[in-house]
Amino acid sequence: MKGRNLRSNPAVVVHVQDGLDTVIVEGRATQETNSEVLGALLKEYARKYDYRPDWSDSRAQVVFRVQPLVAHAWRAPRMHASLVNFVFQEGTGSNGARKP
């Protein structure tokens, strides 16, 4: 279901927070189909989580790549003193950091 939704509307927001460091990434999701990339990801996934997912059936297990457009990051408790925004140039992989 999520894969179908992402195919029809690839806009995503990913939020990672560990209590002190916060990162919010806005971007576009695309299905990853490159076998070399999937192989490398599978190897690292197994190393980190000690688990090897079965991605052989692309209808049951789908992997998406997020191309970031904007990222916001800050460190608690002084969010306004540490806020940094990154704006990525679509399709180039380059970015620029700017303080608000």
Label residue 100 by pLDDT band (50, 70, 90): very low
Do residues 55 and 37 lie in contact, with contact meaning Cβ atoms separated by under 8 Å?
A: no
Distance, CA of 100 to CA of 87 (rounded, Å): 12
Evaluate if residue 67 carries a pLDDT over 90. Answer: yes
Percentage of the chain exceeding pLDDT 90: 41
- Sorted by where each starts, the structural domains of the chain and their CATH numbers stand as 2-98 (2.30.110.10)
Six-digit token string for 73: 């990051």
Label residue 24 by pLDDT band (50, 70, 90): very high
Label residue 99 by pLDDT band (50, 70, 90): very low
